[in-house]
Amino acid sequence: MSWLDHIGAGRSRELSAPARVVSAAVSLMLAVMFIGAAAGAYIDETLGLYLFLGGVLVLAFLHTTGNRLRPVHDSVAGWLLALASAGCCAYFVLMLPAHKERLPVIDPLTTADIAVSLALMLLVLEATRRTIGVTLVLLVSLFLVYAVGGSRLSGAFSHRGMGLPEMIDQLVFSNNGLFGPALEVAAYLVFIFVLFGALLDRFGGADFFHRLSNALVGRQVGGPAKVAVVSSGLYGSVSGSPTADVVTTGSFTIPLMMRTGFTPVRAAAIEAAASTGGSILPPVMGSAAFLMSDFTGIPYGKIVVAAIVPALLYYLCVYLSVALASQQAGLKPTEEGRIERLRDVLASQWFYLAPLVTIGWGVIALNRPAFAGALACAALVPIVLWRERHPMRIAASVGRGLVEGMQRIVVVGVACAVAGLVVGTLSMTDLSGKISSGLFLLASGSHLLTVLTAVLVIIVLGMGMPVPAVYALSAVLAAPALISLGIETLPAHLLIVYYAAVSAITPPVAVASFAAASIARANPLAISVAACRIAAVAFVVPLVFITKPGLLGIGSLLDIALAIVTVALGALAMTIATEGWWRGPLTPVVRVALLVLAVGLYVPSGLLNLAACVALAGLLAWRLRAPG
């Protein structure tokens, strides 16, 4: 037992009856409010953010222990912190008319304003420590200390300095701090999709995805692993959380893969890699894409369309990796009698496709993501009526679904709130521009080194943090450096989304791998390494689409077609090389040759792409002569 155990993240509590009542009441109130907001009902935006943050903090303290060593039953400290959170929320709600009348920075804050704001910031930091971990708290504290004492520094990182009241005014009472874009997106965009995922799960959606995937690929060699890839991708796009995806789909795919011949490490790694891709898979793409749309002003539908090809390439390579590993291990297909036919699954549960079609249509055609989420929730109503039939059971099921949805948003809400503190600090000290210049200077002016340095920053930030929080921080730290190189806004920010997502499987703190390890009972570090190998293409493709934007649908039809073909061939060559198998084991020389050809297909050179394409075709044709 180390000192880190005493200051680290906590565990989920076993709530007492009073705590369950309070939790359910807060969850239902906020769920109904923000469903209404997504459907078009008017809610004062600032009032909604006050209530959302207050509710998220109350739930965080009620549901999470002080550290992992604390007992899981209710505690006095938890209740006091929850009451303090509710009190701060109530103060801001009551003072909203007065705060709307004052001029930010010009009109002074009252002593009560400053005291309650400081208390709220401390509560956000404590909730962050409990739900996410002390690393993010230390990082945010470093930025806050810089805001207070940065004027004492010399050189480029010095700023003009500011007093505590001015800092509080900027961080709490402006639109670019605690109640800024990050929290706004969490409340008014992310929540409705998290709620939809919880309701879909509650009413059998995860089981449908599993049955559908099993009918599609279950008969093939390594069928259970391929089922994990397909079902985790489908569910992960809606849930937006790699960890939640692993826990939900992995609970039955990992044991099934192990029973059919995969090692625990390999089974867990496949599930972790497949679940991680859900955050980059349209139409929902988890939470970060909503933040990206808000930060950049790019319509969400345009982001979804741009992300389609890279996401499909990711899952194609994960699927190929599973297929090659299955052949190498000599696994047998699942017995025909144990697999449902596709038409039988669709005949009995076709209605689960209606909400997915609705959400895709709403996001792309209407370009109104929140309204699309509300429509998708409405499309679940017939499913609820068909499954439950009895009014009391319907009310109970919907209520539990709403409560689960609100509880799932707690970590995202806390992460976005604390990210708002960082964004506000960067804004009022111009630290983002200084960091951008520092990254470029550190890379000695090299474009490639600047990009790689930015990628390293994103991955390090992402260790142990939710994808939305990683994106929110990286968008203000790394994006300016990337854009200063001449990279377009869409590729630059989509690169950040990719690396924010794959941080879930990047050692040493890989939350998706740790979740899979708890199911497979295997070494999480070994799972992380294996998952990174399976998902290797995700670490490379973002570097490619900033030099070949045709992969994102940017440019002429010829540019787009050439980019898709060359990058797809490069990704396949890379996957075969990392697995070391293609109709038999590959020698180290052949594997290196495949990696070299992959690089030749990735680089933005038509002549080199053509040469690599011809060489790859010849190499694969030669391997086809080997015994299968």
Looking at residue 60, its pLDDT comes to: 93
The Cα 307–Cα 321 span in angstroms is: 21
Look up residue 547 and give its DSSP letter: T
Residue 64: phi and psi, rounded to 5, are -125, 135
- Indicate the SS3 state at residue 12: strand
Q: Which of 158-162, 310-314, 456-460, 481-485 has the highest mean pLDDT?
A: 310-314
SS (H, E, C) 242-300: HHHHHHHHHHHHHHHHHHCCCCHHHHHHHHHHHHHHHHHCCCCCCCHHHHHHHHHCCCH
Render pLDDT for 405-432 as a digit per residue (tens, 0 to 9).
888 788 878 888 888 888 888 778 777 6
pLDDT at 547 over 80: yes
pLDDT at 628 over 70: no
pTM: 0.77
Q: What percent of the chain has pLDDT over 70?
A: 93
Looking at residue 532, its pLDDT comes to: 92
Looking at residue 489, its pLDDT comes to: 92
Band the pLDDT of 619: cuts 50, 70, 90: confident
Question: Structural domain boundaries of the chain?
Answer: 4-133, 182-413, 555-628
Residue, of 398 and 577, whose pLDDT is higher: 577
Render pLDDT for 222-259 as a digit per residue (tens, 0 to 9).
677 777 777 777 777 766 667 777 877 777 778 878 87
Band the pLDDT of 105: cuts 50, 70, 90: confident
Write down how long the chain is: 628
Q: Record the tokens describing residue 66, joined without a space.
A: 């002080």
Contact between residue 23 and residue 61 where contact means Cβ atoms under 8 Å apart: no
Render pLDDT for 579-610 as a digit per residue (tens, 0 to 9).
888 888 888 999 999 999 999 999 988 899 99
Beta strands in 475-618 (DSSP E): none
Contact between residue 81 and residue 23 where contact means Cβ atoms under 8 Å apart: no
* 155-160 contacts at long range (C-beta below 8 A, 24 or more positions apart): 156/434, 156/437, 156/438, 157/431, 157/434, 157/438, 159/429, 159/430, 159/431
Mean pLDDT of 52-63: 94
Going by C-alpha positions, the residue among 243, 229, 236 that lies closest to residue 205 is: 236
Render pLDDT for 124-182 as a digit per residue (tens, 0 to 9).
999 998 888 787 788 888 888 888 887 777 777 777 777 888 889 989 998 888 898 87
Contact between residue 248 and residue 239 where contact means Cβ atoms under 8 Å apart: yes
pLDDT at 43 over 60: yes
Q: Record the tokens describing residue 22, joined without a space.
A: 């309070």
The Cα 347–Cα 438 span in angstroms is: 59
Q: Which residues contact 120 (CB under 8 A, 6 or more apart)?
A: 53, 85, 88, 92, 172, 178
Is the link from the previous residue into 283 a cis peptide, with omega within 30 of 0?
Answer: yes
Contact between residue 34 and residue 52 where contact means Cβ atoms under 8 Å apart: yes
Question: Measured between alpha carbons, how far is residue 354 from residues 308, 343, 377 in Å?
Answer: 20, 16, 11
Question: Measured between alpha carbons, how far is residue 465 from residues 233, 292, 531 in Å?
Answer: 20, 17, 18
